[in-house]
Amino acid sequence: MTQQMREIIRIDEEKCNGCGLCVPSCAEGALQIIDGKARIVKDSFCDGLGACLGECPQGALSIEKRLTDAFDEEAVHEHMKTLGKAAPAAPAASHDCGCGDGGHSHHAYHSHQGHHAAQAAAATPAVAATTATAPAAEPPRMGGCPGSALRMMQREKAAPAQAATPAQGAERPSELTHWPVQLKLVPVQAPFFEDARLVVAADCAAFAYADFHQRFLQGKSLVIACPKLDDIAFYRQKLTQIFRQNRIRSIDVIHMEVPCCTGLVHVVQEALNDAGRGAQADAGLRIPLNLVKIGIAGQVLAEQKG
């Protein structure tokens, strides 16, 4: 493998809390959560363009220049195939963005645009805020997604009768207390995990069971995942960190009756054991685990209290 002096992502392990928000933003699959920390799987998978930087709430990611393996696009494509994910788009014609690095592929060019725009915004935030006089195109982001920004929602408690039988034509109120809810996106130490009754639900459960909010979500925090399509090893590591670093009162796992969906039960049980909070733990450490199986026809098939 050819080595060269080039830019590559640097991870500050002291700052990294293993939230995993950087992982989905890396189009090359170079980042994974290993032993509770973000790590580069292989240097040759990292293009050094920094699409992940804007996702880290801890400021643990930066770019450094050092001697390392050259970026290997073919190896990235093979790596993405093993992950069952689409590989980054093939390079188009080269461009010169004037940054001194010569021509870039289409992918690299736009990543560099975001990199330079973010650097400029960080250097002169006051100017950027005061010179805007009319709506303009949104500036390039370094992988940041406003849709994954953490939000808390305050809900007014409805009277029991009102919640059970809303007025004709009225919508039932949502019981969701926070955003995001996808397990891949939530921070490990999100405020909604503290002293929480946690619901870990299969993606399909809320669609199959009509009264999901009213029956399972009132007063609880939610994360969703798919044990068939998602990275279960990553989820086990992340759930382990969540269970270790937060005071969680109970866990409800709501899964579908299809066999693959029981993987969600297993990964939660394994994470609880890894965190020392499972069924074999001392009473003061054990987190009660309740299981609910939903049928594909929309009914509750079984409930098991832990």
27-76 per-position pLDDT tens digit: 889 999 988 899 999 999 999 888 788 778 888 999 899 999 999 999 98
Task: Kindly report the CATH number assigned to the domain that includes residue 29.
Answer: 3.30.70.20
Distance CA 108, CA 257 (A): 44
**Mean pLDDT over the full length of the chain:** 80
DSSP string across 222-273: EEEE-TTTS-HHHHHHHHHHHHHHS-EEEEEEEEESSGGGHHHHHHHHHHHH
DSSP string across 283-297: TTTPPPEEEEEE-TT
Residue 140 has pLDDT above 60, yes or no: no
- Whether 48 contacts 76, CB under 8 Å: no
Q: Do 127 and 222 sit in the same domain of this protein?
A: no
User: How many structural domains is the chain composed of?
Assistant: 2
pLDDT in tens, 164-211: 566 666 788 899 999 999 999 998 989 999 999 999 999 999 999 999
Both tokens of residue 243? 């269970």
pTM of model > 0.75? no
Domain that holds residue 20: 3-131
Residue 142 CB partners (closer than 8 Å, separation 6+): 50, 51, 52, 53, 54, 114, 115, 118
Neighbour-count burial for 152-170, b at 16+ CB within 10 Å, e otherwise: eeeeeeeeeeeeeeeeeee
Residue 93 has pLDDT above 60, yes or no: no
* pLDDT at residue 208, as a whole number: 97
Average pLDDT of the residues in 244-248:
95
Single out the residue in 105, 131, 157 at which a domain terminates. 131
Q: Do 115 and 181 sit in the same domain of this protein?
A: no
* pLDDT at residue 166, as a whole number: 62
Within-domain flag for 137 = no
Q: Do 222 and 111 sit in the same domain of this protein?
A: no
